[in-house]
Amino acid sequence: MRSLTCFRIFVACVIVVLLMFNDRLRSAEPPRVVAHRGASAYAPEHTLASYRLAMEQGADYVEQDLAVTRDGVLICLHDDTLDRTTDVEEVFPGRSTVDPATGRRQWLAADFTLAEIKQLDAGRWFAPQFAGERIPTWEEAVGAVGSRAGLYPELKSPQIYRSRNVDMTTIFVESLRRLGLASAPASRLIVQSFDETSLRDLARQLPGTHRVFLIEVRDGARWLSASGLRDITGFAAGIAPHKALLDGRAGIVQDAHRAGLTVTPYTFSSRTPSRFDDVSDEMRYYLGDLGVDALFTDNPDRFPR
């Protein structure tokens, strides 16, 4: 009888230790896969084709980078400019400006109306079978994703709009209200940005939104310190660092978890060289060895489950 009691106490102690030291067990949440610009290894980024394929490949969330057109509509576009992923140079040859940083011609999305942007082909640059794909609006993306996956919009380059007296965050908040997403749970909507001001604005306007702060390599030292992580808890529930900031540094993931922040590194892609032979192995390392909660990938089908 006494030995049975001892055994029970031993089992209970083992469970307590596991719960204390294993973040995955503690949260009981399975790791999540965010489709980066859709299934962008296989279909043109930020097209409905790419979003649909991501969901077929089992994405938990589909990412949308957001930009604002000249007439104030949110569209899904990664670059500030239209020239890399559309035929804007052919359709609007006389509408370029000069990029002051490089001296090269550029076609800024913010200089075009939605009607103009809808004339552009956003698929042919990637592969001929995607010719005719269009740049979706944010609201079209929400409709296409429906309830099959969560939404993971990024407030991208807000400084461009501030310099034009356009408040991107307020436009976004109004859109969430129209779409019935203003108080959506984290399983439905997570908002990300590299811009602290935008996330703080969003927190003020819609405190219930789940917000994630993106951290690029050059900002790692500032934000991944103990005081930096503490500061982030004032305006976000999670961090999304460049994956290089975490490689070999499981302690940062643990520090973030102790601060109550989720960790979602970016970006895992079969198209980008890495020290791993295979993108699935790379994702497995970040999920298993480092203990991240989720990750952004161009290859949702290669996510280790």
Question: Is residue 65 a contact residue for ligand G3P (CB under 6 A)?
Answer: yes
One residue of 169, 192, 198, 299 binding ligand G3P per CB under 6 A: 192
Among 42, 92, 126, 266, binds ligand G3P (CB under 6 A): 266
Q: Applying CB under 6 A, does 46 fall inside the site for ligand G3P? A: no
Secondary structure (H, E, C), the chain = CHHHHHHHHHHHHHHHHHHHHCHHHHHCCCCEEEECCCCCCCCCCCCHHHHHHHHHCCCCEEEEEEEECCCCCEEECCCCECCCCCCHHHHCCCCCEECCCCCCEECEHHHCCHHHHCCCCCCCCCCHHHCCCCCCEHHHHHHHHCCCCEEEEEECCHHHHHCCCCCHHHHHHHHHHHHCCCCCCCCCEEEEECCHHHHHHHHHHCCCCEEEEEECHHHHHHHCCHHHHHHHCCCCCEEEEEHHHCCCCHHHHHHHHHCCCEECCECECCCCCCCCCCHHHHHHHHHHHHCCCEEEECCHHHCCC
* Distance of alpha carbon 295 from alpha carbon 108, whole angstroms: 29
User: Residue 65 or 201: which CB sits closer to ligand G3P?
Assistant: 65
Q: Which residues are catalytic?
A: 36, 78
The verdict on 190 binding ligand G3P (CB under 6 A) reads no
Question: Binding residue for ligand G3P (CB under 6 A) from 69, 296, 300, 301?
Answer: 296
Which entry of ligand G3P, Ca ion, none binds 240, CB below 5 to 8 A by partner kind? Answer: ligand G3P
Q: Pattern 136-175, binding to Ca ion, x per CB under 5 A?
A: ------------------x---------------------
Nearer to ligand G3P, 266 or 285 (CB): 266
**Which of 40, 106, 262, 267 is the binder for ligand G3P (CB under 6 A)?**
267
Which CB, 23 or 154, lies closer to Ca ion? Answer: 154
Minimal distance, residue 204 CB to ligand G3P, in Å: 22
Measure the CA–CA gap between 149 and 301, rounded to whole angstroms.
Answer: 15
Q: How far is the CB of 302 from ligand G3P (least distance, A)?
A: 17
- Find how far residue 104's CA is from the centre of its chain: 29
Q: Return the number of the residue (214 or 245) whose C-beta is nearest ligand G3P.
A: 214
Letters for 33-72 (x = contact with Ca ion by CB under 5 A, - = none) are --------------------------------x-------
Residues that bind Ca ion (CB under 5 A): 65, 154
Residues that bind ligand G3P (CB under 6 A): 36, 65, 78, 154, 192, 214, 240, 266-267, 296
